[in-house]
Amino acid sequence: MLVSILNGFAIGFLLFILAVGLSLVFGMMDVLNLAHGALFLGGAYLGAQFAGDGWGGFLGALGIAAVAGLAAGGVLSLMTEPLRRRSHLDQALLTLGVALVVAELLIIVFGDDPLAVPAPPGLDGSVAVFGATYPAYRLVLIGFGAVLALVVHLVVDRTRVGALVRATVADREMVAALGVDNRLVKAGVFAVGSLLATTAGVLGGPVYGARPGLDSTILILALVVVVIGGLGSVRGALVGALIIGQVDTLGRVLLPDLASFILFAALAVVLVVRPQGLFGTAVAR
Amino acid sequence: MTAVASPAVPGGTAARPPRLTCGRGALISVVVLVVLAAAPLFLAPFATTTLTRVLVFALFAVSLDLLVGVTGLPSLGHAGYLGAGAYAAGWVSINVTAEAPVPLLVGAAVGALAAALTGWVTVRSAGVFFLMLTLAIGETLQQVADSWESVTGGANGLTGVPLVRLAGTPLANVGYTYWYVLAVGALGFALVAVLVRSPWGAALRGIRDNEPRMRALGYPTSLYKYVVFVVAGGVAGIAGSLLVAQQRLVTPADLGFLTSSFALLAVVIGGAGSLWGACLGAALVIVIRDALGPSLDGHGTLVLGVVFVLVVYLLPRGAAGLRPRRRRENA
């Protein structure tokens, strides 16, 4: 039971890192980035590639993933730019095409066998937590996720850049009228969101491994988090991610046969009771 | 459904006079049908099998077009209903009878049932939200197929599905299977085409173009969306029963994200709202994936992804019907 709750936190913080970028890009520019899962998978494969090299490999993979994520976000932002006058759906379809291409390129490069990713040395064992043994890496993941969540929260809530981002989510035209080029804001958020996705991939590697098809599984978890938490809300993404982390892991322990329905049920309940998400504003939609 | 019979055809853009093109359209349909029916007499078995897969996927794409193009509900989880129908038809063929039309009807019923059970959530949303919800549902259905081993065979899929039998005789030849798929597919296509041209179809196009106005006119738009969602699920279920008749196995991949994406691609390539376009798009998808795929080292998906990106940039008309209704117009 305790193990399952800890697992829920580990997965919850991982999902938060993943979902916050998706949520901000969507809340801000109405661009649903369906390539987000593919970025995560890219990070996971990078982690798998360098996993044999110990800490250097792990940190190296994190660094490469961060740079690659920034670049990928910039490219995606540029790609959606010509479509800004078209419907949001066209932009989503574009990212869907990109997601297919990226996933297939990853298969070409890394093969289609599932890869296991060992945790970095020193963290690959287990530790005793209140009498239960628990993988050390996941504890570190919880701590790291919590710190990262705090950092993202502080940046978005307490800095000028964060204020700009929140203002753009709230009223894009007004921000543009104040003389801010919101294409730059969008590109920046897109880049940082993608960076978080690829980083989450490296961090999540030892938990999820790296395999074809993981991209859509992860994408859907992130989408559920975003829908439950409310669009464009950092706090919503955090709460949604922690809820989904707990619901998913507890569901798998308590009701293994129904586990796949439980996520959908959680989503349905939130949508029926509060269609704009827990922390969303009513204007979304 | 008395509102359907109401003579007030809504919205200038929604009403298209079908009569004018009816004669020529019927002629073209007959010619296409005759050519398709004669095809296996001239084609090698492999080509016939590919053409069978094209027909199955075309019916599936047409059922999706009913949602995407006609009603403006972009679904990214439609393969879930295809798979539900395929598993149901396969299970019945193995455990009860493979005598046509039993697997077909069971497939349609289960596809519609799955859509009825999930549709009440999805039709509360529109646009990109609908896309997300259907994506989540499709993934859920795939996980069910993957984990409910006693019925679906788990990750290995449902194997050993017997040949479809017609009046006691198994259709033990790719040509016979092809004609069976063609006959059912043509009926399914005709059903959707008739629905689209009916006042009900006009109301659906009205919902796509301006839902608030349709509601103001007294149409229960949520009910319309729910019914079309169930109908599309049923037609997808029929396509599923044809899929299992052709492959004689179903795997969780058949109801996955990729299958849904490819169906959406087929609809978008063909121009959303055009049933013939969806069929041509489906043909392109299947030819690239199944016929050219092997010569590309099995990376047909890569080509299709690139096609997807190009279509979105270069064929805005093709994607035109996908646009969510223009909300701010009369706000």
Is it the case that residue B163 has pLDDT exceeding 80?
A: yes
Please judge whether A96 and B76 are an interchain contact, meaning their C-beta atoms are less than 8 angstroms apart: yes
Is the CB of residue B222 less than 8 Å away from at least one CB of chain A? Answer: no
Q: Is residue A25 part of a domain?
A: yes
ipTM strictly over 0.90? no
What pLDDT is stored for residue A55 in this prediction? Answer: 81
What residues does each domain of chain B span?
47-255
* Interface list for B 260-299 with A (CB within 8 A): 261, 264-265, 268, 299
H/E element holding B192?
helix B174-197
A25 contacts on B by Cβ (under 8 Å): none
Q: Which residues constitute the domain of residue A38?
A: 2-216
The token pair at A178 is: 């104040």
Please judge whether B258 and A100 are an interchain contact, meaning their C-beta atoms are less than 8 angstroms apart: yes
Is the CB of residue B326 less than 8 Å away from at least one CB of chain A? Answer: no
The residues near A188 (Cβ < 8 Å, ≥ 6 apart) are: none
Of the candidates B74, B17, B10, the residue with the CA atom closest to the CA atom of residue B204: B10
Looking at the 3D structure of chain A, how many domains does it have?
Answer: 1
H/E element holding B52?
helix B45-65
Q: Is residue A178 part of a domain?
A: yes
Q: What is the largest CA-CA distance in chain B?
A: 62
CA angle A31, A34, A35 (to 5 degrees): 110
B127 contacts on A by Cβ (under 8 Å): 88-89, 285
Residue of chain A nearest B311, judged by CA positions = A94
Is the CB of residue A100 less than 8 Å away from at least one CB of chain B? Answer: yes
Please judge whether A93 and B147 are an interchain contact, meaning their C-beta atoms are less than 8 angstroms apart: no
B219 or B125, higher pLDDT: B219
Of the candidates B240, B244, B256, the residue with the CA atom closest to the CA atom of residue B301: B256
Residue of chain A nearest B149, judged by CA positions = A257
Q: Is residue A267 part of a domain?
A: no
Q: Could you say which of B304, B308, B323 has the minimum Cβ distance to residue A87?
A: B323
In the structure, what pLDDT confidence band is assigned to residue B17 with cuts at 50, 70 and 90? very low
Question: What digits encode the pLDDT tens for the residues B167-210?
Answer: 878 887 888 889 999 999 999 999 999 999 999 999 999 998 88
Q: Which residues face B250 on adjacent strands? A: B158
Please judge whether B127 and A108 are an interchain contact, meaning their C-beta atoms are less than 8 angstroms apart: no
DSSP secondary structure, chain A, as one string: -HHHHHHHHHHHHHHHHHHHHHHHHHHHH----TTHHHHHHHHHHHHHHHGGGHHHHHHHHHHHHHHHHHHHHHHHHHHHGGGTTS-HHHHHHHHHHHHHHHHHHHHHHH-SS-B--PPPTTSSSEEEETTEEEEHHHHHHHHHHHHHHHHHHHHHHHSHHHHHHHHHHH-HHHHHHTT--HHHHHHHHHHHHHHHHHHHHHHHHHHH-B-TTHHHHHHHHHHHHHHHH-TT-HHHHHHHHHHHHHHHHHHHHH-GGGHHHHHHHHHHHHHHH-TT-SS--TT--
| pLDDT one digit per residue (tens) for chain A, 285 residues | 777 888 888 888 889 988 888 888 887 767 788 889 999 999 999 888 887 777 888 888 888 888 998 999 888 888 888 887 777 778 888 888 999 899 889 888 888 788 888 777 777 777 777 777 778 888 888 888 888 888 888 888 888 888 888 888 778 788 888 888 878 888 888 898 899 999 999 888 888 888 888 888 888 888 888 888 877 778 888 888 888 888 888 887 877 767 767 777 777 777 777 766 777 654 433
Tokens 């006058």, residue located: A85
Is the CB of residue A92 less than 8 Å away from at least one CB of chain B? Answer: yes
What pLDDT is stored for residue B317 in this prediction? Answer: 62
Is it the case that residue B290 has pLDDT exceeding 90?
A: no
Residue of chain B nearest A269, judged by CA positions = B121
Please judge whether A89 and B143 are an interchain contact, meaning their C-beta atoms are less than 8 angstroms apart: no
Distance from CA of B136 to the nearest CA of A (A): 6
Tokens 């619901």, residue located: A247
Are the beta carbons of A43 and A58 closer than 8 angstroms? no
Is it the case that residue B242 has pLDDT exceeding 70?
A: yes
What pLDDT is stored for residue A275 in this prediction? Answer: 67
Distance from CA of B283 to the nearest CA of A (A): 18
Please judge whether B304 and A98 are an interchain contact, meaning their C-beta atoms are less than 8 angstroms apart: no
Q: Mean pLDDT highest for which of A225-229, B86-90, B270-274? A: B86-90
- Least confident span in A216-225, B132-141, B320-329: B320-329
Please judge whether A104 and B322 are an interchain contact, meaning their C-beta atoms are less than 8 angstroms apart: no
What pLDDT is stored for residue B129 in this prediction? Answer: 79
What pLDDT is stored for residue A185 in this prediction? Answer: 83
Please judge whether B144 and A260 are an interchain contact, meaning their C-beta atoms are less than 8 angstroms apart: yes
Q: Is residue A29 part of a domain?
A: yes
Can you tell me the distance from the alpha carbon of A271 to that of B118, in angstroms, rounded to the nearest whole number?
13
Q: Is residue A118 part of a domain?
A: yes
Distance from CA of A72 to the nearest CA of B (A): 16
What pLDDT is stored for residue B204 in this prediction? Answer: 92
Q: Is residue A51 part of a domain?
A: yes
Is the CB of residue B117 less than 8 Å away from at least one CB of chain A? Answer: no
In the structure, what pLDDT confidence band is assigned to residue B99 with cuts at 50, 70 and 90? confident
Please judge whether B147 and A259 are an interchain contact, meaning their C-beta atoms are less than 8 angstroms apart: yes
H/E element holding B207?
helix B199-209
A274 or B290, higher pLDDT: B290
Q: Is residue A243 part of a domain?
A: no
Is it the case that residue B228 has pLDDT exceeding 90?
A: yes
Of the candidates B67, B28, B120, B73, the residue with the CA atom closest to the CA atom of residue B235: B67
Is the CB of residue A271 less than 8 Å away from at least one CB of chain B? Answer: yes
| Phi, psi of B158, deg, nearest 5 | -90, 110
Is it the case that residue B5 has pLDDT exceeding 50?
A: no
Of the candidates B169, B166, B202, the residue with the CA atom closest to the CA atom of residue B12: B202
B215 or A277, higher pLDDT: B215
Please judge whether A104 and B147 are an interchain contact, meaning their C-beta atoms are less than 8 angstroms apart: no
Distances (CA, A) of B113 to A126, B60, B246: 47, 17, 23
Q: Which residues face B165 on adjacent strands? A: B99, B170
Question: What digits encode the pLDDT tens for the residues B48-85?
Answer: 888 999 999 999 999 999 998 899 888 989 999 999 99
Q: Which residues face A134 on adjacent strands? A: A127
B79 contacts on A by Cβ (under 8 Å): none
- Least confident span in A64-78, B6-20, B30-44, B292-306: B6-20
What pLDDT is stored for residue A130 in this prediction? Answer: 74
Of the candidates A41, A67, A55, A71, the residue with the CA atom closest to the CA atom of residue A202: A41
Of the candidates B216, B217, B231, the residue with the CA atom closest to the CA atom of residue B123: B231
